[in-house]
Structures are given as structure tokens and as C-alpha cells.
Structure 1
């Protein structure tokens, strides 16, 4: 093997995150360590001459050379955070989760990977995905492309109670909430923006049907994030409730929330919300909450609580 091949091999190995150890390379190519050191020097000259955003550095800890990007890189702290959030989400099937974690690790150096892997090892080993076990990565990307291209799509969709329906929709956003990815799409038949769980879309194909919306019917995903909970739509209301629990938890749940009154043992919170999702959260708080406005919402809460109590008789 000539010097050019040897240097290309070293460069390719470094580019893929491997550590180049002088003695190992000398043995592999049956040359002296001094020859390999000269290869390193020529590689440095090449990086400088071509203004490449890499620097060849020696790691005492790894006892070898590695390439480091000179541009801003993703830090090991950021990679760890992303992996932790991803594992906690339980959103991907096992194979896709492990592949995504591997891909994220590849964005950082081998040394950083050795630091991160023991931290995530146990959580990754015991990873428990959701029951649907549907592959989502390609589907997520494809629907994102439909959104960018404003492309109508015909889907075969399995509803909550296993009923299968066919719908032609205009995808407008992909949102993650409470373990699931949702496609928010305009449905011309119902003249409304509806929510479709990505894992329940059994088949999809592009449609030639033209779908138009009025300005009022257009979807604003930023506003939706502030108003909707558990991906459950409904009527927009100004909710007021007394709260005896951890105030921060309530304020985090409702981004538009503010404390309007403080008492010694409870606060009054006001928030603009969609009523159905808000009702679900309030019910989950048990005796720590009391809805006080609007009146029709309070009446609905009382009715639901009475029905709940009746089940225990």
C-alpha cells in the first residue's frame, strides 16, 4: 500500500470519529512510527492549506490523535440532554430509539461518547416503548415534507375505538405531546383543523384534490401550544380556578396562566385554554382544585364529578 492510500485511510478513520493511535497504524501498514508521525504532519498541513474546519489534536487520555471541529459543535451536555428527553418520551419503537440514540452519539467525539454511554446505559437497557410499536421516523419526515410543500394527502386512519376511516387532509403541523406525535391537518369536509395520531395512520398517499382555507381557518401552531392540553381541542374559554397544589405545576401546565389572587393556603389562577383538555387536567388534581368560572364549565365539572362518584356506589 502506498503513502497516499495510507493517509486517506487515516483521514477517513478520523472523520468517522475514530482515534488514530500511532503504534497501531505503524503495525497495520508495516511502517515505522516515524512514518505515521509524518503522515499526521502532512494531514495537518492539508487541513490548514484547504481551510477545513478541523484540527488534528493529541489526546493523552485516549493515547492517540483525533479530529476536532473548529466550528461550534454540539456539546456532550446537549447530546446527553437530548438522549435523556428522548428516552423519557417513550415515543419511538425500540429499534428506532436505539438507532436515534446511536446517531446522536455520533455527533460528538469518541471521548465524549465514552463519558455519556455509562450514564444512559441502564435507562437504554430498560427502555419501554409505547404499545403501538409503529415505525415513525420516515413517516414523521414525510409528513413534514407534505407540510412544506402544502400537499394534500389521503390517509387511512384508525380511530380511537378501532374504526377505520379514509380522510383527505391538508397537513399543517406535526406536534409531540404526552407520548405521541400528532399531525394537525385541515379537513375540508368538516371545515376544521383536526388531530391525527401519527402511529394510527395506516396508509397515506398524495392527493390531487385541491384544499383551500379561509384566513380564519388557518392553523397557528404557536398559539395552539399555549391553549391545548392532552392534544384535546374544544372551545376556547377564560378559565378561573382555585388551586391548593404546587402553583408552579399549574402555571407550567397552562402557559397563559397567571395568579390573580393569593390566600394563605390557596391561589386563584386564570388562564385562556381549550375547555376539554383543561377539564382533564383539573380532574387529575383531585381535591387540590375547584373551578369557579365560567359558569357552564363549573356546571360540567360538577356533573362529571357526580358521575364519577356514582360509579363507587
Structure 2
């Protein structure tokens, strides 16, 4: 079995590759069992434990808002963001407000909605996508917004406004 699009076989993955792979899964909201990690990479229990410990240490050193937690009942590890990020409900509300405002062209709205959904865990994404899909399908942009790039214009406006304030202070 290969990892990272055929570049590295799982059996030959070094510690850094294993840990990055673990972190990627944890960051996407997955819960991981040590035994599954051992089986996937053909490593012993102590090596798997060191991989999880390395991630825990890295997070505490550089991202103290995140913790690697162990669920003893389920026997798996997960990333706890201590309330950071968006909940499924918060994401849905933001998207509904954007849709209801009809303030963006559809070609600007769709990538923005996709970016918001990408902040959610894979399970939350599965839950929310059907709701959003129907809303986006029926979205009718205002005619005067067609072919406008409002996101860039709004960002530029705020940059100029901030620069003007800083200049006068």
C-alpha cells in the first residue's frame, strides 16, 4: 500500500511521515485508535505511542489552543480545539445569511461557501452539504452583481480605509 500518492510505501514511512499523516487525519476531525495506527504502518505499540506523544508535544509547544485527547471509553485519540473553529450550526447560519443577503455574485458566493464548509469536520460536512446544495441551486444573484468582483473590492475598500485612519493618527 502506498501513502502520499505513491511516493512512499507505508512499510517504509519514517517517523515524520507517520506523524504528519496522523496529524492530517486528526486535524480533519477523525478519531484514531493506536492499534489502527500500528496495523497501518506495521509498527509496534511503543512506536505508535511515541508518534501520538510527538503530536501532543508539538501541539502544546506551538498550538496551545489545541490538545490531543484520549477517549479511554472509545480507546481513541482526537484533536480538541477548545471551542475554536465553527460549529455546524454556526457555519449554516453564516451561509444562510450570505444567501439571504444576495449581496454576492454566484461565482464569488460558491467558493466562499465551500471555504466555510471546509472548516467543519468530515461528518459535519456530510450533514450540512445537502442543505446547502439545495439552497445554492436555487440562489438567484441580483442582475447588477453579475460579473462583479465584490469580495476584492470590499477588501480593497477596507485596506484604504485603514491606511487613511493610520495616516491621520
TM-score by length of 1: 0.39
Asked if the contact 2:37/2:48 (under 8 Å) is kept, the reply is: no
- Structure whose alpha-carbon radius of gyration is higher: 1
Q: Show the counterpart of 2:52.
A: 40
CA offsets per residue over residues 227-269 of structure 1, 9 Å max, x none? Answer: xxxxxxxxxxxxxxxxxxxxxxxxxxxxxxxxxxxxxxxxxxx
Q: Does 1:10 align with 2:29?
A: no
The equivalent position to 2:66 in structure 1, one of 38, 54, 61, is: 54
2:112 to 78, 87, 100: 100
Unaligned runs of 5+ in 1: 152-313
Query: Which structure 2 segments of 5+ residues have no match?
Result: 1-12
Aligned to 2:30: 19
Count of residue correspondences: 145
Say if 1:99 and 1:44 are closer, same or farther in 2 by CA, change over 3 A. Answer: same
Q: 1:118-147: per-residue Cα shift (whole Å, max 9, x none)?
A: 222211222221223112111110011111
Note closer, same or farther for the CA distance 1:80–1:143 as it changes in structure 2 (3 Å cut): same
CA contact under 8 A between 1:26 and 1:36: conserved in structure 2? no
Equivalent residue number for residue 87 of structure 2: 75
Aligned to 1:145: 159
- How far apart in 2 are the matches of 1:119 and 1:64? 30
- Name 1:276's counterpart in structure 2: none
Q: Which has the higher contact order (CA 8 A, sep 6+)?
A: 2
Distance 1:72 1:18 in 2: 13
In structure 2, distance between residues paired with 1:25 and 1:112: 27
CA 1:122–1:2 in structure 2 vs 1: closer, same or farther (change >3 Å)? same
After superposition, what is the alpha-carbon deviation per residue over 1:197-246, rounded to whole angstroms, capped at 9, x for unaligned?
Answer: xxxxxxxxxxxxxxxxxxxxxxxxxxxxxxxxxxxxxxxxxxxxxxxxxx
CA RMSD of the aligned region, Å? 3.2
Query: What displacement does 1:90 show?
Result: 1.9
Matched, 1:109 2:115: no
Q: CA deviation at 1:94?
A: 1.7
CA distance in 2, matches of 1:104, 1:113: 10
Q: Which has the higher helix share?
A: 2
Contact 1:19–1:64 (CA under 8 A) maintained in structure 2: no
2: distance between equivalents of 1:130 and 1:86? 13
Q: CA deviation at 1:7?
A: 0.7
Using the alignment, how far apart are the partners of 2:66 and 2:56 within structure 1? 9
Aligned to 1:86: 98
Distance (Å, rounded) in 1 between the aligned partners of 2:103 and 2:96: 12
Higher strand share goes to which structure?
A: 1
With structure 2 as the length reference, what TM-score do the two structures score? 0.66
